[in-house]
Amino acid sequence: MTDAQTVTPMADPVPRTRAVTASTAPNTRPGPALDGTGPVTPPPVTTPPVTTPPGTLTEQDPTHPTWPSRADDWIHTGTFMPTASGRIWPYLTATEQDVHWPDIAAHLSRIPRFMGATDGGCYSVAQHSVAVMQLASPAARPWALLHDAHEAFVGDMLTPIKRALRIRAAYTAETINMHWYHGETILNAALEHLRDVADRAIFGRVGIVPLATAPLAIRQDVARADRIMLAREAQWLLPDGPAMDAWATFDRALFEIDRGPQIEPLHPDAAAALFLHHLQQVIPTTRIDMEGQA
């Protein structure tokens, strides 16, 4: 019943011989009438027509094809985002042609590591990517610099958030009579798909395979450099307190890594310029690519 609908007292010409309940009269509302004589039958409620929110896939409307044929139709499903230059990034169908390096640099330079919980300013994913690249072997540097490039479009989701989502997905699966494993699997597949679509487009733009399918030695080298930088960033940039104590208990080995030289967060513009500079140094073809995209 909406706020505009009110219940008015109704005359009862026929004496009641028994109480009316919801089980015997499904259209009545149990409770005393306004005059205190018994249940009240509310006025009929007009049910508004069901409308489908934008981006919803429906089988009822023949003019709207159903899944999966609409997965590619980003403009109708709303599965796209505007980039810093005003271009379009279609989440489910991005290709190499959708990659614009200044956009990636701009986005990464404005995305904070640790959700912004750092001392001394915003420490960006762009600055982190350059630092990981500098710790990697020469052969692994292209992958190291771009290892988080997909975050330009899907964001930097903290590992604890992913853990929490997996636990919640497993619990939800059990509440609807599914095995907990299915809930976690579905969530992982959805998150990984968005990342993989972006990675295939980004790495494909420079003619190399995504990091997930790169040679094992490359993946191990990037993972090593990434973990070293995680340890250094945590020790230099995060404030002391209960959270750091808990983290040190959870992953003691991380805090046994040398903290290295002091880290100073860069302004986003400086971080974006630094990322683009190293991108052209490590992957020379991007220089020509960017000239063509200007």
Cis peptide before 68 (omega within 30 of 0): yes
Using an 8 Å Cβ cutoff, are 12 and 37 in contact? yes
What average pLDDT does the chain have? 82
Confidence of residue 181 (pLDDT cuts 50, 70, 90): confident
HSE (side-chain half, CA atoms, 13 Å) at 287? 7
pLDDT 10s digits, 203-250: 999 999 999 999 999 999 999 999 999 999 999 999 999 999 999 999
Q: Which of 18-22, 57-61, 78-82, 200-204 has the highest mean pLDDT?
A: 200-204
Of 40-54, 145-159, 172-186, the range with the highest mean pLDDT is 145-159
Whether pLDDT at 294 is above 50: yes
8-state DSSP, 6:
-
Residue 29 has φ and ψ, to the nearest 5°, of -110, 115
pLDDT at 46: 53
- Looking at residue 75, its pLDDT comes to 77
Share of the chain above pLDDT 70, in %: 74
Question: How large is the average pLDDT for residues 174-179?
Answer: 89
Name the β-bridge partners of 29. 40
Is 40 strand, coil or helix? strand
Residue 18 has pLDDT above 80, yes or no: no
CA separation for the pair 148, 279 (Å, rounded):
13
Checking if the pLDDT of 174 tops 50, the result is: yes
Per-residue confidence at 180, pLDDT binned at 50, 70, 90?
Answer: confident
Give the tens place of pLDDT for each residue, 88-136: 999 999 999 999 999 999 999 999 999 999 998 999 999 999 999 999 9
Which residue ranges form the domains of the chain, and what is each CATH number? 101-157+196-293 (1.10.3210.10)
Neighbour-count burial for 2-38, b at 16+ CB within 10 Å, e otherwise: eeeeeeeeeeeeeeeeeeeeeeeeeeeeeeeeeeeee
193 touches 175 (CB < 8 A): no
Q: Can you give the pLDDT at residue 77?
A: 82
Local confidence band at 286 (pLDDT 50, 70, 90 cut-offs) = confident
- 65-97 confidence digits (pLDDT tens): 444 445 557 777 889 999 999 999 999 999 999
Higher-confidence position of 23 and 161 = 161
Predicted TM-score (pTM) of the model is 0.74
Alpha-carbon span 59 to 65, nearest angstrom: 7
